[in-house]
Structure 1
Amino acid sequence: MDILKRSSGIWASELVSNLDKMCDNLESTLSNSSSASYLFPLQQFLFTFLTKTLSGADPSVDAKIADGGYLMFDRWLALQLLPTVPIGILQPLEEIFLHSFAYPFFLVSGDYNNLYNFIKQHGKEVVNRGKLEFGLTEEESIHNLLFVLGFNAFGGFSVFLPSLIDAIATDTTGLQRKLAKEARENGGSTLTLNSVKDMPLINSVVYEVLRLNPPVPLQYARARKDFTLSSHDSAFRVTKGELLCGYQKLVMRDPLVFQEPESFFFFFWFPTVSPNPTGQRLIRRGTELHLRVCRWPMGCCMHKAGFEPPTLT
């Protein structure tokens, strides 16, 4: 959070600058071909943008990092996620050969060391802040920074943004036009974080995509004490030390909380009662279902009027 706060002044400008470069590259590809994939250009944009804003290091000063840094993160993330992520091959072969053991670090040690040395050399200001203000060693500061940068930021956005783009691109109700209109009317001459706060439809679309497709669907933790975990109609006794797994989609697509939980309603989080962006009243969902709980750690939320969420005792 300290890093985010300190870098907030350059987020908007770096975002626009690097997005412009990504769009120019895509247009250049399209001028020579009938189609272009946006996934790798998107990841390269994310890597450059997030590395500059979170670590203060500019990838352009190192050609190897500038060209392949995002692929280094991809391989490092894949090694950590493969034991838990379903890839759709014939069961039980997937569980036996892919999900039964941790993979050795040496497979990606070269990539990780390249990123480590880059941050050590070019992200000194942020690394020193970790040492002076938080009592970390240099090694701990760099490892923590790489985890936040690679896993939380780069990894999360690499999963979430394609879902967001797909939701907007496949909409048939004119959502793209409505989003463009709102952005042009409220964006001002220069994009800022404050101007984004004045774009309720854009915020609503982002929240609804997070609800349907959380970037990190599985979360694990060990109970620190004995407690009772309550659901809508049951209670489960959990003892200290037990391993718990939380599946975000069970929460965010709960039919007892959300009406038509599998459907994408881009106006769901829109703050007005009537009319909403579709020209219809918010009858099934919307603001007459006032917000009781809205939690976004890894995209977790619950929302329903009159519903008291389960408590841990």
Structure 2
Amino acid sequence: MSCSTSEVPETTTTKTYYDSQHPQLFLRKIPGDYGLPFIGPIKDRLDYFYNQGEIEFFRSRERNYKSTVFRVNMPPGPFISSNSKVIVLLDANSFPVLFDTTKVEKKNILDGTFMPSTSFFGGYRPCAFLDPLEPKHAKLKQLFLSLLASLHDKFIPTFQTSLSELFSNIDSQISTNSTAGFNVLSDNMSFDFVFRLFFNINPIDTKLGSDGEGTITNWLALQLAPIATLGLAMLPNCLEDFMLHTFKLPFFPVKSGYKKLYKVIYESSTSIFEEAEKLGLKKDEVCHNLIFLAGFNAFGGMKRLFPTLIKWIGLAGPELHKQLANEVRAVVSSAGRSLTFSGLEQLSLTKSVVYEAIRMEPPVPYQYGKAKEDLTVQSHESTFEIKKGEIIFGYQPFATRDVMVFGGNNNEFVADRFVGEKGEKLLKYVFWSNDRETVNPTVDNKQCPAKDLVVLLSRLMVAELFLRYDTFTIKTGTSFSGSTVTITSLTKAAST
């Protein structure tokens, strides 16, 4: 079962001189350049956002240089970032160097060649901006891992409650309007779920009221505006570029909402603070890190992931829907009408579909790192030398569609790609959580601490969807935060 998207071209690399350390490859000078000072970064920024768009920006350079490794400027460029020069990695062979924290530094490089003002984080640098060698990284990461472990028994029942509300709201919109905007409903559900899970509160019952999700969304938008585009046809490109990419946007528009958010989380985190104090962490710093964990990592990730998941399953059509429904209902029937951890593990096609959606459209498309030392990286055909201090950038949607790994259908959604022993061997090439899917988060790496939870929730969403419905149809689009999905029809299961 497959559906196609725009193709990423296969690569041929011009070989130059021989690499004696890697006799199977040739050493090649990294192609590309950065252009004239000031002018080069702005030209590349305009190409990236407007003249070519993100995909063609990388595709055209890969094609022109005949290489998946090359030099270019990455936004935002002048005024916001002091150095926009990066070395781009687009293939699955070179990409993993970005996960090796013995070779690359991760300090202040989460968002790329610039960092938002720490005003957005209470004056602190959250854990996501810390390199693992910085002392507080291990303590904060350990706190997050301990928190997730303590909530293990709440994952499934809490998310099931949230999903029940989501599907009820979708049904209501379909009944009233004949269509349902999935993104808005999913965002509201995700925000409520995060607060129920981490802080044991329903945000609408707090001082946040109905404004919490909007506050977080605006907080995210102001931080990330320098590396984003609104995609509004009525706004001239030159005006949008000036508004978003010339200066960092200030914190003050969301300051009052953030203060409310801080107070609600602070008052609901007593047990978390007790654990933090054992690690020698201050309550204030921990609270701002919790906001980042809940708002940026968790909610921000779900905001992109869940519409992407529904998009690819919806586009795949009724045949796949029937297969998923049969698989889920068979397992639930044998398990006594309930979904459990062990039951979800039995859903091989469901698991594969989740991984395939993540492969096609990773929720975090970018990875950055700064070389800690002179090093070499290898594409499939050449070796390249990178100097200490150079910024390395990886664009995951190309690496996770590498034709040398995934073959001729690398740009197609293949639902059962990861089923069986052969399929499971491909999981190490699924990059989305700041490491391979086959690696686990630790205090010493930069992998998302909730990586396994994200996969679990995605499987649970698919399973609960096909317990309720036989099939559905959608329309898709794009927005500031990624894919948009409108559900145009739903066919309920006979038993619901």
Which TM-score band (shorter chain)?
A: 0.7 to 0.9
Structure 1 residue 39 displacement after superposition = 1.6
Task: Determine the C-alpha separation between the residues in 2 that align with 1:247 and 1:128.
Answer: 39
- 2:313 counterpart of 1:159: no
Partner of 1:114: 260
The answer to which structure, 1 or 2, has the higher relative contact order (CA under 8 A, 6+ apart) is 2
Give the direction of change, closer, same or farther, for the CA distance of 1:59–1:84 in structure 2 (3 Å limit).
Answer: same
Give the direction of change, closer, same or farther, for the CA distance of 1:242–1:57 in structure 2 (3 Å limit).
Answer: farther
Give the direction of change, closer, same or farther, for the CA distance of 1:113–1:292 in structure 2 (3 Å limit).
Answer: closer
Contact between 2:363 and 2:432, CA under 8 Å: does it hold in 1?
no
Q: Deviations over 1:126-167 (max 9, x none)?
A: 2332232x3211111111111111111111111011011111
1:248 partner letter: Q
1:106 partner letter: F
Task: Determine the C-alpha separation between the residues in 2 that align with 1:2 and 1:41.
Answer: 30
Q: Deviations over 1:100-132 (max 9, x none)?
A: 332111122222222111100122222332232
Counterparts of residues 1-313 of structure 1 (less than 5 Å): 1-62=145-206, 64-88=207-231, 94-132=240-278, 134-172=279-317, 174-187=319-332, 188=335, 189-259=337-407, 260-271=409-420, 287=422, 290-291=425-426, 293-294=428-429, 296-298=431-433
Partner of 1:225, secondary structure, is coil
Structure 1 residue 34 displacement after superposition = 2.3
Partner of 2:469: none
Give the direction of change, closer, same or farther, for the CA distance of 1:296–1:232 in structure 2 (3 Å limit).
Answer: closer
Task: Determine the C-alpha separation between the residues in 1 that align with 2:377 and 2:245.
Answer: 28
1:41 partner letter: L
Structure 1 residue 300 displacement after superposition = 6.0
Structure 1 residue 258 displacement after superposition = 1.5
Task: Determine the C-alpha separation between the residues in 2 that align with 1:174 and 1:35.
Answer: 22
Task: Determine the C-alpha separation between the residues in 2 that align with 1:292 and 1:234.
Answer: 24
Contact between 1:56 and 1:123, CA under 8 Å: does it hold in 2?
no
Partner of 2:101: none
Normalised by the size of structure 2, how large is the TM-score?
0.54
Task: Determine the C-alpha separation between the residues in 2 that align with 1:245 and 1:93.
Answer: 27
How many matched pairs?
287
Structure 2, unmatched stretches of 5+, are 1-144, 439-496
Structure 1 residue 32 displacement after superposition = 2.9
Partner of 1:284: none
Task: Determine the C-alpha separation between the residues in 2 that align with 1:18 and 1:181.
Answer: 23
Contact between 1:59 and 1:65, CA under 8 Å: does it hold in 2?
yes
Partner of 1:19, secondary structure, is helix
Deviates most, 258-267 or 222-231: 222-231
Partner of 2:458: none
Give the direction of change, closer, same or farther, for the CA distance of 1:156–1:289 in structure 2 (3 Å limit).
Answer: closer
Structure 1, unmatched stretches of 5+, are 273-286, 304-313
Structure 1 residue 292 displacement after superposition = 7.5
Q: Deviations over 1:218-277 (max 9, x none)?
A: 1222222322122122333223332222111121111122112111001100116xxxxx
